[in-house]
Amino acid sequence: MKKILVTGAYGYIGSHTVKALAEHGYHVEGLDISRSSNDIEKYLNKPAYLHDVVRKDHRGDYDAIVHLAGAIDIEESVRVPWKYVKTNVEGTFNTLIKYSSDNFIFASTASAFNPISPYAQSKLLAENIIKAYGKNYSIFRFFNVAGNNGEFRQIGNATHLIRIAAEAAAGKRPFITINGTDWDTRDGTCIRDYVHVSDLADCIVNSIENPSNSNYECIGSGIGHTVREVIDAMKIVSDVDFQVIEGPRRSGDTAELIMPEDKSVKYYGKRTLEDMCMSAYQMELK
């Protein structure tokens, strides 16, 4: 039985990945800076390690490391860029060198295609470190991850569109704001590629046995949806016509981000935008 360490294990992607790995028969251990409402302990082979990846005093031997811990808020990265250098760059380097492992799986971001924000730049630097020091590895550029498996949820304040829209549909916020309506897109709002978190976790499980050893791999759907289209989809699945307000652009945003066609063969999402919206809405109703 292969022994896997998941960093950021209590987080949104981490909790779904821990469960998927356990269900595939792996010995799973988890590491995170703190616990969350996601109860992953029943899927772990030993109690989770509460530890910051920036520190160097926790070590171990594993068949694979799934490195999901990191700082992920684009707007925050513009305000406090050094936090993102320390957590995403130094934290990745520490994780890579302090554990003995033949396979390193890394959560990067599709923002690395156009690294405007400090967040995207920190992930790109981390990618280069892995390629320089890793043995076998899979560098995954995640597109916009959404939805849930009905058991685990996103942690902290909502920063992603589908969850924000789900909160509005569930009556947890009075309205939703569109950040920019003057982009050069079909309806003036940003276009993004969305992938269900369960599809993403399945791709990570596949990479345990088949490291890509490529510059990067994408996990997305290959389909672009505008902000208005996502909001409309949420209104349809929830049958709630919540209020929508138009606001200014966010710092660090780009007009369009969709998985390149030549990267959509090996890793892709099967669940639809409606699936993501429905599961996010149902989770907020809980």
Which residue in 10, 26, 62, 119 is the catalytic one? Answer: 119
Q: How many CB atoms lie within 10 A of CB 17?
A: 32
Reported as type and span, the H/E element at residue 237 is helix 227-238
| Nearest-10 crossing angle of helices 91-98, 118-133 | 20
- How does residue 221 score in pLDDT terms, banded at 50, 70 and 90? confident
Of 99, 11, 4, 100, residue with least CA distance to 44: 4
Residue 139, classified by CB atoms within 10 Å of its CB into exposed (0-12), middle (13-18) or buried (19+), is: buried
| Cα(246)–Cα(263) distance, integer angstroms | 34
Q: pLDDT tens for residues 110-119?
A: 889 889 899 9
DSSP 69-113: -----HHHHHH-HHHHIIIIIIHHHHHHHHEE-SEEEEEEEGGGG
Catalytic residue check, 10: no
Q: What is the 3-state secondary structure (H, E, C) of 169-225?
A: HCCCCCEEEEECCCCCCCCCCCEEEEEEHHHHHHHHHHHHHCCCCCCCEEEECCCEE
Q: pLDDT tens for residues 159-188?
A: 899 999 999 999 999 999 999 999 999 999
Q: pLDDT tens for residues 67-83?
A: 999 998 888 999 999 99
pLDDT of residue 262: 64
Per cent of the chain over pLDDT 90 is: 74
User: Does residue 266 register a pLDDT over 70?
Assistant: no
| Cα(116)–Cα(111) distance, integer angstroms | 8
Please state the pTM of the whole predicted model: 0.91
Report all structural domains of the chain as residue ranges with CATH numbers, in order of start. Answer: 3-285 (3.40.50.720)
Which amino acid, one-letter code, is at 87?
T
